[in-house]
Amino acid sequence: MSLTYASKRHVIIDGSYGEGGGQIVRCGLGLAMLTGSIVEFRNIRARRPKPGLQPQHMTAVYAAAAVSNAQVDGAYLGSPNLRFEPGAMKGGTFHFDVEEISGASSAGSAMLVAQTVIVPLAIAGQSAEITLKGGTHVGWSPSADYLKYVYMPALAHIGIHAELDMVQHGYYPRGGGECVMKVHACAEPPKTIEWIDRGPIRSLNVIMTQASGGDNVLKRGTSVAETLLGLSGLNPVIQHVVLSSRGMGMSCTIAAECENGIGGFTQLGRRGIPIEMVVETSWNDFVAWAKTRAAVDPFLADQIALPCSLAPGESVYTTSQASSHLRTLLWLIPKFIPVENSLEQLDETKFIIKTRPAPV
């Protein structure tokens, strides 16, 4: 079932706005696909050390073009400007590889590519199976574990369903990871959410990953996690995921599903940083969020802004920090669809986001 949210528009976006240059492109592509609008991006990532489109952004553009039969101008590495005119959405089987765009070994995030197409495909009533290659555990972007255990469960509450299965890990800086994502067509509009106080923690997952070659490191991490979580009285499910990888790496993700909200916190290991410190840092981030009783973590707050804006009623949720990415999306979304978004600080540790259709 294809759902229409607004008439087509021709939107021109300054990609240097705020700090979310790449995010502006990805979300703008999604909104263009959802509404059938033409979008032009100018001054893409103009304030960054490497301005213009980078490999992961290029892969997101190609992915969006493939699933929407789009006409694209300006799609080349380093491009400061891009024009994207979507056609009809289509599901099916796809394969997107960040390295095919960069032409060299790259840890560009495959997960950001995934987030570009999930919501538009599902909302357009299109199912798809997508193989993604690139970075799965890299800095400054959600890890594969975060997508699987935090982002996708949050989408499910809104009525958008997707799954992710890992084949090979791709750690920074060598990348080379692979996963398979399945997106399911929506049969009805997204649901509203009312997540103000997170409520009791219903489940807690601790996911530790490592390149294949032994799990002694993860056993040490588990010992630390069991000590920290045992003192809290929580009963987590601890998972070890050991897969082949082009380079060495490890990570720890703590994902909490609550009565009215979800939070997730990932730390990546690197040379010279012991697994004990990686786990402890993830735990400290989780505890700091949990104490605020905000419904979602600061990263998820901006990632669900778009699907919440598509629901036919008011959604309300809280977060512990209002990131520049969140502020950027609340600015961007109304340029494509008639929606009213607001952000208000309730106290030092909690912000509330409201989104609802604008009066006609």
Catalytic positions, written as ranges: 325
The span from the CA of 306 to the CA of 115, in Å, is 11
Both structure tokens of 100: 């095919």
One-letter amino acid at 163 equals E
Angle between helices 275-292 and 216-232 in degrees, nearest 10: 30
Q: State the DSSP code for 150.
A: I
Q: Where are the alpha helices (DSSP H) in the chain?
A: 21-35, 55-68, 98-102, 110-123, 144-146, 152-158, 216-232, 275-292, 298-303, 305-309, 324-332
Contact 79, 52 (CB under 8 A): yes
Query: Among residues 308, 94, 61, which one has the least CA distance to residue 194?
Result: 308
Supply the DSSP string of 41-87, one letter for each residue. Answer: EESTTTTSSS-S--HHHHHHHHHHHHHHT-EEES-STT-S-EEEE--
Please provide residue 87's backbone torsions phi and psi, each rounded to the nearest 5 degrees.
-110, -145
Maximum distance among all Cα pairs of the chain, rounded to whole angstroms: 60
